[in-house]
Chains A and B, each alone.
Chain A
Amino acid sequence: MVHSPTCPHPCFLLVPASEPQFPHLQTPDAGDAVWNVRWELCTRRSSGPPAPGSGATIFALSSGQGRCGIAVIRTSGSASGHALRILTAPRDLPPARHASVRLLRDPRSGEPLDRALVLWFPGPQSFTGEDCVEFHVHGGPAVVSGVLQALGSVPGLRPAEAGEFTRRAFANGKLNLTEVEGLADLIHAETEAQRRQALRQLDGELGHLCRGWAETLTKALAHVEAYIDFGEDDNLEEGVLEQADIEVRALEVALGAHLRDARRGQRLRSGAHVVVTGPPNAGKSSLVNLLSRKPVSIVSPEPGTTRDVLETPVDLAGFPVLLSDTAGLREGVGPVEQEGVRRAQERLEQADLILAMLDASDLASPSSCNFLATVVASVGTQSPSDSSQRLLLVLNKSDLLSPEGPGPGPDLPPHLLLSCLTGEGLDGLLEALRKELAAVCGDPSTDPPLLTRARHQHHLQGCLNALGHYKQSKDLALAAEALRVARGHLTRLTGGGGTEEILDIIFRDFCVGK
């Protein structure tokens, strides 16, 4: 090591040149934003061994969704302190493990976000064993969303994946084995909740856009990879790279426009998703109207009246709920209703809570039996740990049953009796709903739409930045790396993203091989 006494940045000397096993450089690039990170790294190194799990720094909303006075946002990882300082500039880090009030600002615009309580937990004495920060902010959606997006803009930070906090805690020996017992279930629930959330988000226009972008990008990357791996020995057609360049440029324009255009932001469909389903004419629409206290859906004695999914935001037992009325599930009907049935099934997959409805007086009919065998049984047989999807079986039209007792067979799963006509059984249903919703909404793992939106924005911005690097790179390996990073961001949103996909495209599009 050469020590330069005149070095204006003595911190350089504190950076160990390399890891024993990995002789690669550890200094971030010289971009302005990263200077702080470099400083951060240096101070960290000088004050002791690097924190365990020094991967990316993650953040998430860790309080449940629903109405609450205070929302808690957590970060974990080596850039936590850096993030805290950036959001609370010009103030320094607060004393460790002491609550302090700080004004949070968006680091990009300098706009104040909220006056919040912040807590700084330097590792290893923290929940995950890494450096952690907690932001206790006022619970309104605008504030929470603002802070999440501000964190997403800090270099080195990204939204947490399902179960990532817990996993890090576990990996760092912060959870004992009994605490871990329930962990797998929790992770499973988080994964499921995130999957459903992603399905909802990707259902709309944005999802369509994302998938299209990911496809374009995957193809462009595959062509660049083909040019690298086979460009010399095999004859690829002319202009492979030029074509990829054109596609990347178009993608860059589209992404940029999307991110600038605030109106294109996904309509926030917040609240727990409750879907009412059942065979035709069970009284689903009547229940929706009853729960929302307004005539949302047309009701008629004719089966198949509802042909599309009707959504209505309601407040149920104090929880924000998005109630969906769907077409009755049956086969062999006209194309319009068939489409309605398809949509109903799609919606069912995305539901947090399913209200399965049957006509109590018609339980022996083929459509009822079929419904019980398929929908109810498939959700019901899974143990709670296998699926975090919940289901309430409601038998409607109890007023039609004879007073001696209900007709339902003994092998019917647990159910509630209701009459939408008389309102009998409504209180019991509401109480059951309250319990289920408390479980759905109170679970901090349920991915709130706010975080989903922050995640979208984070990854789209990350993708756009990487595309910028692609353009600047003269070295083709560096350019390809930029496309890999860009694709990684998009496939976080759309799924997929393996190497095999790339190889499939290469071998489909080019004649290569010796």
Chain B
Amino acid sequence: MFYFRGCGRWVAASFTKLQFPLARLSSDSTAPRTPHFDVIVIGGGHAGTEAATAAARCGSRTLLLTHRVDTIGQMSCNPSFGGIGKGHLMREVDALDGLCSRICDQSGVHYKVLNRRKGPAVWGLRAQIDRKLYKQNMQKEILNTPLLTVQEGAVEDLILTEPEPEHTGKCRVSGVVLVDGSTVYAESVILTTGTFLRGIIVIGLETHPAGRLGDQPSIGLAQTLEKLGFVVGRLKTGTPPRIAKESINFSILNKHTPDNPSIPFSFTNETVWIKPEDQLPCYLTHTNPRVDEIVLKNLHLNSHVKETTRGPRYCPSIESKVLRFPNRLHQVWLEPEGMDSDLIYPQGLSMTLPAELQEKMITCIRGLEKAKVIQPDGVLLLLPRMECNGAISAHHNLPLPGYGVQYDYLDPRQITPSLETHLVQRLFFAGQINGTTGYEEAAAQGVIAGINASLRVSRKPPFVVSRTEGYIGVLIDDLTTLGTSEPYRMFTSRVEFRLSLRPDNADSRLTLRGYKDAGCVSQQRYERACWMKSSLEEGISVLKSIEFSSSKWKKLIPEASISTSRSLPVRALDVLKYEEVDMDSLAKAVPEPLKKYTKCRELAERLKIEATYESVLFHQLQEIKGVQQDEALQLPKDLDYLTIRDVSLSHEVREKLHFSRPQTIGAASRIPGVTPAAIINLLRFVKTTQRRQAAMNESSKTDQYLCDADRLREREL
């Protein structure tokens, strides 16, 4: 169910030119030939693009269904990518050969690493992105991805069939029905439809359904999901109005320049596409008591703020900031929307006041005295269309006032860590539909869903990133075991192994696994990651092997504040821990054998980071091993927690386990209310299952053989 623009023209048009060059066509002679793909991805937002390309990289013939090809890669909310925690996610997406980091390296207009002074484990890679360029580059990439077909079309319903007996789930998805009644079959289907479920847009007291206006509400897909028994929740979010660039008095504002040199997002890039001196600045201004006054005086005109729909604990809008933290000045970042854009995005001024009051409030702010809010276009409001981030985008990207969005999401405890739903086999959810917010969170889920949808088709085990391996793992584990009651956003404080899961080492953590277990990583990237990993290991062992007395070190590197009181020999690795020492100064002191490690800038910097955290990483590794042990203990997927008899579990624990369906002992132990005794009982199950499986090993070998034979037959066709 997609929102096309008030008429069926696009859909009809798209299907007249429908071509499925990669699709296997059904050979059933009695039925009309229907296209058949391995994976269908519904939605072309940040989750959808990553999912579709990841599935294609894994070797699946993939169809990306989107309402309009020209909105693929649209950044519907803020014109930036990355940040603290989010930058970590992007690095991990890149480590799995995902798109967004590479596209950002080609499309940014202001690159800046946040948290520079707080330690490399929490550096936040961030950039202002040119919306137009991003979209262009993304579309180029998508349309040139081998095995990926992109098609315009609105999905009306899912095709459901009998479930596979060896998996849990009520039924199995085998394709989709489009709005014109035609069908496309597939082995797996990924839903990345953002906020489409019963989305409404709120400006002041006006609300507009953000769905198919003039159409019958809530038909098709949404109804099917509900009928299947998916539990739905409701969230709200918002976006600020856009301001005309030439109406802002930048000369009196605090100017922020980008980093020099720019740090690229992708491991495969050494530089970004644009020189620092050609990049655009950002400006900072602040709210004042007059802003508070306008908000407080007009609360009665602001239904979004008053409503009880669960908003986040953090402050998403200027109204909530004023209400919860009165009498303070709040930051407003004025961010460029692109190289040749005449719009400025006022980050921090997300609001839902009536349009005329929005401009009144904005003009109270320093530097914005003459600011022109781009007025809403009357026609536009009648034809809103929801984007993945809950934003409306209009024809020709016309700007809009700030507004709020309220929408349904599906309780993410209904999906597994591979993002497949418990209820429907081979149906995957990724992105905002799972209750997250942010491009990066969506992209991260997209990659995982794409990989797993593809692995499912080839009957390979799922690709799950553990909490101990990446922010992606933390994100998905939090969602699938704890659920969420506010739009889930990544923070580094959510990550217990923060010092191990750093932006610099995402490739060592994920690229190798992505290559071996998922097949989603290119040979070139894999080789680069392997080289880096072995160089790091070699470098570290060399740094450990070089030992001198502290007085000798002091003589060699006088600028280091090495204490000479200790008589024990000091390793080069320990010297590298000092803030004022880097690989260059070490190599100057001990050229042989250290000089060769300074030739690659990235390697030298990463050695320094490894040295900084060395002592703590050892302890963290111990803990990580403990967690991984619990995660290695898989719980049987077909366990019926409500009725199973030979385990003593309290009713409460049964309900919790039944709803979240944890896949491992580790995940089960993180569900609040699941007691240590319950965990032991579950452990017993793991062991009995293992025993049973060992006995059944013979028969599974036969299955394997049959499966291969099946594939052979397919190829012949």
Binding site for B on A (CB under 8 A): 1-2, 4, 7-9, 12-13, 17-18, 21-32, 53-56, 162-163, 167, 170-171, 173, 177, 180, 183-185, 187-188, 191, 225-235, 385, 474-478, 480-481, 484, 499, 502-504, 506-507, 511-514
Contact = CB atoms under 8 A, between A and B. Distances in A.
A27 B676 contact: no
Contacts of B117: 476
B493 A499 contact: yes
Contacts of A503: 313, 491, 493-494
Given A1-B538, A475-B612, A499-B496, 13 more contacts: A4-B545, A18-B537, A24-B610, A56-B626, A185-B677, A229-B84, A229-B122, A232-B115, A477-B120, A478-B119, A484-B496, A512-B315, A514-B78
Nearest to A232: B114
Interface stretch (B92-100, B296-304, B680-688): B680-688
Residue from the set B119, B496, B675, B683 with the largest chain A CB neighbour count within 10 Å: B119
A499 B492 CA distance: 11
Given A2-B593, A235-B329, A512-B315, A26 B621 contact: yes
A23 B536 contact: yes
Given A55-B626, A385-B648, A12 B544 contact: yes
Contacts of B347: 514
Interface string B671-698: 0000111101101100110000000000
A27 B493 contact: no
B613 interface: yes
Contacts of A183: 680, 684
Contacts, number: 213
A234 B331 contact: yes
B676 A17 contact: no
Nearest to B316: A513
B645 interface: no
Contacts of B279: none
A23 B541 contact: no
A226 B313 CA distance: 14
A481 B648 CA distance: 38
> What are the 5 tightest A-B residue pairs by CB atom distance, in nearest-first order?
A29-B615, A513-B314, A477-B119, A475-B119, A55-B626
Contacts of A184: 648, 677-678, 680-681, 684
B508 interface: yes
Interface in B343-392: 347-348, 350
Nearest to B570: A30
A474 to B, nearest CB: 6
A512 B348 CA distance: 10
B531 interface: no
Nearest to B579: A474
Contacts of A385: 648
Interface string B509-539: 1001100000000000000000001001110
Contacts of B579: 474
B294 interface: no
Given A476-B122, A511-B330, A23 B612 contact: no
B613 A1 contact: no
20 contacts: A2-B593, A23-B537, A25-B614, A26-B618, A56-B622, A170-B683, A185-B677, A225-B493, A229-B491, A232-B115, A233-B84, A233-B114, A385-B648, A475-B119, A476-B117, A477-B121, A478-B612, A499-B496, A511-B330, A514-B316
B498 A477 contact: yes
B412 interface: no
Nearest to B546: A4
- Consensus secondary structure, chain B interface: helix
- Consensus secondary structure, chain A interface: loop
Contact of B617 (A24, A225, A484, A511): A24
Contacts of B114: 232-233
B328 interface: yes
A420 B258 CA distance: 86
B325 interface: yes
Contacts of A170: 680, 683, 687
B680 A163 contact: yes
B164 interface: no
B136 to A, nearest CB: 25
B716 to A, nearest CB: 38
Contacts of A53: 626, 629
B499 A477 contact: yes
A92 B346 CA distance: 69
Nearest to A482: B616
A188 B314 contact: no
Contact of A2 (B286, B541, B615): B541
B85 interface: yes
B569 interface: yes
Contacts of A481: 498-499, 616
B625 interface: yes
A173 B694 CA distance: 15
B622 A55 contact: yes
Nearest to B542: A2
Contact of B613 (A4, A478, A514): A478
Contact of A24 (B84, B321, B500, B612): B500
Nearest to A507: B313
Given A23-B533, A187-B676, A385-B648, A511 B616 contact: no
B540 interface: yes
Given A12-B544, A228-B84, A171 B614 contact: no
B259 interface: no
A494 B388 CA distance: 43
Contacts of B315: 511-513
B574 interface: yes
A1 B541 contact: yes
Given A2-B545, A187-B676, A54 B625 contact: yes
Contacts of B333: 233
B618 A22 contact: no
A53 B623 CA distance: 10
A226 to B, nearest CB: 8
B118 interface: yes
Nearest to B437: A514
Given A163-B676, A507-B314, A232 B84 contact: yes
Contacts of B568: 30, 32
B605 interface: no
Residue from the set B83, B330, B683 with the largest chain A CB neighbour count within 10 Å: B683
Given A29-B614, A29-B618, A385-B648, A180 B314 contact: no
Contacts of A480: 498
A7 to B, nearest CB: 5
B21 interface: no
Contacts of B316: 513-514
Interface string B309-342: 0001111100011001100111101000000000
A1 B536 CA distance: 10
A32 B567 CA distance: 11
B493 A25 contact: no
A413 B544 CA distance: 71
Contact of A478 (B313, B499, B569): B499
A310 to B, nearest CB: 34
A207 to B, nearest CB: 22
Contacts of B614: 25, 27, 29
A215 B216 CA distance: 54
B401 interface: no
A234 B331 CA distance: 7
B461 to A, nearest CB: 15
Contacts of A478: 119, 121, 499, 612-613, 616
Contacts of A187: 676-677, 680
Given A23-B508, A55-B623, A177-B684, A476 B493 contact: no
